[in-house]
């Protein structure tokens, strides 16, 4: 792993820890001590998993803040969920801005290039696009249609 990739991982680790630290004390206070420890571990793992995915594939991770909140909301009482949602939104927003700055500076390719098309089931195509294009060989007709429309 090169120096920049190691630095990026370190920064994303810091963002995940910052989110975790801001919400860890809001975990369900009525759960047993053992459950609270399990909940904290789960929340930390989800924060780290979200930041790792954001670093690896920033262009194809729609709404990372919503995804993280959906994954961890069950560990918090209803009275704390607004505060948790705000903390997650702010933390993920800061991480997203950092990633965008890295991409704009040319220090990060923005993850693996993938075709911009969607499959019939509505999922993103996982194939690699043609060199210098946005679409894979199976979906290259979409690029031609897009340039005609423009």
- The tens digit of pLDDT for each residue in 65-124 reads 999 999 999 999 999 999 999 999 999 999 999 888 877 766 665 455 667 788 787 777
> What is residue 22's predicted lDDT score, i.e. its pLDDT?
97
pTM: 0.68
CA angle 59, 64, 69 (to 5 degrees): 175
Nearest CA to 58 among 27, 29, 101? 101
> Is pLDDT above 90 for 39?
yes
> What is residue 101's predicted lDDT score, i.e. its pLDDT?
82
> What is residue 17's predicted lDDT score, i.e. its pLDDT?
96
- The SS3 of residue 124 is strand
More confidently predicted of 22 and 121 = 22
Phi, psi (rounded to 5 degrees) for 124: -70, 135
């Amino acid at each position: 792993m090169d120096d920049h990739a190691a630095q990026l991982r370190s920064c994303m680790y810091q963002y995940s820890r910052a989110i975790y630290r801001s919400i860890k004390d809001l975990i369900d206070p009525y759960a047993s001590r053992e459950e609270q420890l399990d909940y904290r571990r789960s929340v930390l793992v989800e924060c780290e998993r979200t930041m790792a995915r954001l670093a690896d594939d920033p262009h194809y991770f729609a709404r990372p803040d919503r995804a993280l909140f959906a994954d961890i909301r069950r560990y918090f009482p209803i009275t704390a969920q607004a505060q948790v949602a705000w903390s997650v939104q702010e933390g993920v927003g800061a991480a997203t801005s950092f990633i965008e700055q890295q991409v704009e500076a040319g220090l990060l390719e923005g993850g693996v290039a993938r075709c911009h098309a969607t499959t019939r089931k509505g999922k993103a195509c996982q194939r690699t696009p043609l060199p210098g294009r946005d679409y894979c060989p199976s979906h290259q007709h979409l690029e031609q249609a897009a340039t005609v429309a423009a």
